[in-house]
Amino acid sequence: MSLIDDARAVRENAYAPYSKFKVGAAIRSASGTIYTGCNVENVAYPEGTCAEAGAIAAMIAGGDTRIAEVAVIADSPKPVSPCGGCRQKIAEFADGDVAVTLATMDGIVQRTTVADLLPGSFDADYMSRV
């Protein structure tokens, strides 16, 4: 089973009664463990949770802190990219060269990296005077 397959499977559990836009994400941690997440909407927008954030929370709860690979899938005409906030969340736990696979339910796949998704990311180096 590939990381996209894991994201596809968890996508089915998404709670998206308002937008009907289900998203699944899967993360392979540096230890090799797979963590998944799906979007969870809330009638009080924007109080929902993105799929990527859910997968990251599962990873941290599982005791891992480093991302080795990311996959995101949605039923859209082109591969859906993580939102800006999730890009920053991913960058917190992944090096810039970490592979990110974006896919559609129809099999269109785009491969990129964390650095390409979030050039000039805000990182711990900015906090050196604190």
Element (H, E) at 33: none
Active-site residue (options: 12, 47, 52, 69): 52
Flag whether 38 is marked binding. Answer: no
How far is 93 from 112, CA to CA, in rounded Å? 16
DSSP β-ladder status, 67-74 and 99-104: parallel
Flag whether 13 is marked binding. Answer: no
Flag whether 42 is marked binding. Answer: yes
127: DSSP letter? G
Return phi, psi of residue 59, to 5°.
Answer: -60, -50
How far is 54 from 82, CA to CA, in rounded Å? 12
Flag whether 83 is marked binding. Answer: yes
How far is 99 from 47, CA to CA, in rounded Å? 28
Determine the 3-state secondary structure of 7 from DSSP: helix
* Residue 12 annotated to the active site: no
Residue list for the binding site: 39-45, 50, 83, 86
Catalytic residue ranges = 52
Residue list for the binding site for substrate: 39-45
Residue list for the binding site for Zn(2+): 50, 83, 86
